[in-house]
Structure 1
Amino acid sequence: MDPDLSPSFWLASLSREARRPLDGDTTADVAVCGGGYTGLWTAYYLASLDPSLRIVVLEASYCGFGASGRNGGWCSGLFPVVMPGMSPALEDAVDEVGRVAAAEEIDCHYAKGGTISLVRTPAQLRRAVSTPGFVDADAARDICGATGVLGGVYSPHCAALHPARLVRGLAGAASRRGVVIHEGTRVLRTSPGRVVTDRGTVNAPVVVHALEAWRTTLPGYRRTVAPVYSLMIATEPMPAADWERIGLRRRETFTDERRLVIYGQWTADDRLAFGGRGAPYHFGSRIRPGYDRVPRVFEGLSRTLTELFDITPRITHRWGGPLGIPRDWTPSVGLRDDGLAWGGGYVGDGVAAANLAGRTLADLILSRTTDRTALPWVNHRSRPWEPEPARWLGINAALRATMVLDRWDR
């Protein structure tokens, strides 16, 4: 596939077998809106726990079209806010993803090498030196040989993986358990016990919203999360001499301590896949294909790679997509009394969190009391984002302020 036409490098590297759209009205026990990680993990665990359930997944495009097929491939124990008990549960989810991938023979290039956040300015050093996992400059450079390293913060709770291979493999594993997946089927609106699509209506006592940023496209949900874009680039395969200098020998993922997030990994085919924030929020929570590509952000990512590693590799792929940010930056899962369930708002840390969400939603739907159903994100309600234009002004002002603070640090 032409890399300029694909939603991501990850998706461009795979062939795709299309699944049939919904063909008229039907019934189910559980209707899942969204064919990404959250929806597919929920369906997978539900079908594993109760094979008698009729589970239908409805996906507007194809499984993995959204964030699940475009992200940086970090399966990490990170959570955007501090909540009691969440860190151990997410660290377990990192291992659970690897366990299921092995059990289901999903070749998603899973490599649990941990993650390193590099400290590269004196201001960053002052902030990071008391952080758990802090290592000195020599130890940090031994993990990742970037320029100007003064230290780092290391965590073992992260795996690098190929996100599109994971989501495609997960869809196959769910299908083998009897889950019916309809691609090319756009959800238009939902209500208790009912999902109306452009291909027909699904009546089900439980309806799961697993749409992440795209939840804002449903009537009544525009202010639930803010769709904020993150963009990525991938290099051509790089020679062994470059990798000897860069390090990342266990395929550790990497970032640094700047405020405007960057993230990267060494792919299984010897590329650097590298991304970051910086694209604007679009008025009215709009999501458009054209927003996936912002030339000045791609140029900034290329410059940052050159500055980080003193390299000028050829960039072969450029892409992006929206992630969902709740007003309080707190992801959540839940199930209402009327049968509406939801999971998401991961603020870009969704690969492991979606696995935990899927297991938790399966427990809630099947009325199972587990350690997961007692976690503080269960049934958490974030307040809505402000109406426009306040939302547009506030989010973009915060983005600009973050950039200014990073310049001061440098």
Structure 2
Amino acid sequence: MSFWMSVLPEAGPRAALAGSAEADVAIVGAGYTGLWTAYYLARADPSLRVVVLEAETAGFGASGRNGGWCSALFPKSVAALARAYGRDAALALNAAMESTVDEVGRVAAEEGIDCDYAKGGTVVLARNAVQLERARHEAEEAAGFGIHLDLLSAAEATERVGATGVLGGTYTPHCAAIQPAKLVRGLAAAAERRGVRIHERTPATAVAAGRVETPFGTVRAPIVVRATEGFTPRLPGLRRTIAPVYSLMVATEPLPETFWATAGLAARETFSDHRHLIIYGQRTADDRLAFGGRGAPYHFGSAVEPSFDREPRVFAELHRVLLDLFPALGDARIAHAWGGPLGIARDWMASVGLDPATGLAWAGGYVGDGVGTSNLAGRTLADLVRGVSSELTALPWVGHRSPRWEPEPLRWLGVNASLRMMTSADAAEARSGRPSRRAALMARLLGA
């Protein structure tokens, strides 16, 4: 169980499906994507019969385990999107992502969802010369597109995030720290208040045009939405659609004001640094450090198992990095450690869409940046399902089809080799003071 879920009041599971049923829209997955879609559909057209089917409980997957960044981050950079779709389309998607951060806060306030929302922005630190050059490049690239990304001096970065060895960094205001489990639980309740039916402990055994099969019966609907992200490979025929890669987290005990006096994060900024192997953190509303990162292995055959949520080697490395950033933590206790799978498409491109010929819809491939992106997906799917043409349905990720991942063992070899390459690239840059050629090659292969 994640720290986020562990501090919420216990809630029994909702009733499972009790036999075959009819609906206008059937949604598979009660995470952010499925619930935002259901919420906006019910809000736009209360007459729609919307049924959500969840294998476990609402928020069991990444929605209840993530780092709590409601950001404007998208897996593909604006520059990569511009190369593929043109400058105007890339900027339209970026603007939609930026406004999504505020939309989540707006809905949370309107629906009375106390998810500890604090829009403090994101600081990405530079802690060696190569990282500082990367920060300068990103700021210059953003400026070329007219995007708000500040280049911070060492003093400016340290004032916000009092980590060690800071040479500078970047800052964007377009991110809010949240308590993700509070958001997903509140969103489920908000959808139910608007007439959505949520059935928990009801796994989908097959998804096809016009129907979802479960052990308890079939839900028939002209529109079926797949919102399963890292759990997608469990569905028949979809094993190579998404690669589930694990991200792990730790959370400290509540820390005293003496620590925060030097650590900063006064506005609850989310924070990271410019290394290749991603790390991410936030100051929680109850003054803990919640901190996570990649590095856990991809498991053969796109396997997703509860035992994979715990990787002692990765937890130990996260603690080591956290102490390196904030030595003042000293012997502060790591009170929680957890993990879970995120979904990566073969071309690193998130997508959302609806096939009008079959009525099958989908969204996902967020690469760990799904808190905000899933809200945009839900609003977009609500328009697509209702046949509404809008600014959202014209965005360049709509209707995108990612290629399938390679068959095993090539998938296992490739994903895990890329994880090791990013780790070694960071170590090489720290030693040599020069950008890693291997990392640059990997970025080109991913179309970054």
TM-score (norm 2): 0.90
Q: Which residue of 2 aligns with 1:309?
A: 326
Q: Secondary structure at the match of 1:48?
A: helix
CA distance in 2, matches of 1:259, 1:36: 28
Q: Which residue of 1 aligns with 2:15?
A: 20
CA distance in 1, matches of 2:397, 2:235: 23
Deviations along 1:333-382, whole A, 9 cap, x unmatched? 00002100001110000000000000000000001111000000001000
Which of 115, 132, 136 is equivalent to 1:129? 136
Which of 331, 352, 375 is equivalent to 2:395? 375
CA distance in 2, matches of 1:290, 1:280: 13
Q: Which residue of 1 aligns with 2:436?
A: none
Q: Which residue of 2 aligns with 1:109?
A: 116
Q: Which residue of 2 aligns with 1:138?
A: 155
Contact map agreement 1:186 1:199 (CA 8 A) in 2: no
Q: Does 1:238 align with 2:233?
A: no
Q: Which residue of 1 aligns with 2:184?
A: 167
Q: Does 1:67 align with 2:62?
A: yes
Deviations along 1:141-194, whole A, 9 cap, x unmatched? 111010000001100000000000000000000000000000010000011001
Q: CA RMSD in A?
A: 0.7
Q: How does 1:232-311 map to 2 (within 5 A)?
A: 232-310=249-327, 311=329
- Give 1:130 shift: 3.0
CA distance in 2, matches of 1:50, 1:197: 27
Structure 1 letter corresponding to 2:14:
R
Q: Which residue of 2 aligns with 1:227?
A: 244
Q: Secondary structure at the match of 1:372?
A: coil
Deviations along 1:13-54, whole A, 9 cap, x unmatched? 112242100000000000000000000000000000000000
- Give 1:198 shift: 1.4
Which of 323, 327, 335 is equivalent to 2:342? 323
Q: Does 1:384 align with 2:391?
A: no
Larger mean CA deviation between 131-140 and 361-370 belongs to 131-140
CA distance in 2, matches of 1:30, 1:128: 44
Q: Secondary structure at the match of 1:35?
A: coil
Q: Which residue of 2 aligns with 1:95?
A: 102
Contact map agreement 1:113 1:156 (CA 8 A) in 2: yes
Aligned residues between the structures: 404
Q: Which residue of 2 aligns with 1:333?
A: 352
Q: Which runs of 5+ in 2 are unaligned?
A: 82-89, 140-149, 431-448
Contact map agreement 1:31 1:56 (CA 8 A) in 2: yes
CA distance in 1, matches of 2:375, 2:38: 11
CA distance in 2, matches of 1:184, 1:200: 13
Q: Secondary structure at the match of 1:254?
A: strand
CA distance in 2, matches of 1:51, 1:17: 27
Which of 23, 30, 36 is equivalent to 1:41? 36
Q: Secondary structure at the match of 2:375?
A: helix
- Give 1:405 shift: 0.5
Contact map agreement 1:77 1:91 (CA 8 A) in 2: yes
Q: Secondary structure at the match of 1:126?
A: helix
Q: Which residue of 1 aligns with 2:126?
A: 119
- Give 1:135 shift: 1.0
Which of 198, 201, 213 is equivalent to 1:181? 198
Q: Does 1:54 align with 2:49?
A: yes
CA distance in 1, matches of 2:94, 2:120: 18
CA distance in 1, matches of 2:72, 2:162: 24
CA distance in 2, matches of 1:380, 1:230: 25
- Higher share in helix: 2
Deviations along 1:301-356, whole A, 9 cap, x unmatched? 00001000112320010000000000000000000021000011100000000000
Task: Give aligned-pair identity as a percent.
Answer: 62
Q: Which residue of 1 aligns with 2:3?
A: 9
Deviations along 1:79-108, whole A, 9 cap, x unmatched? 110331221101111000000000000000
Structure 2 letter corresponding to 1:372:
L
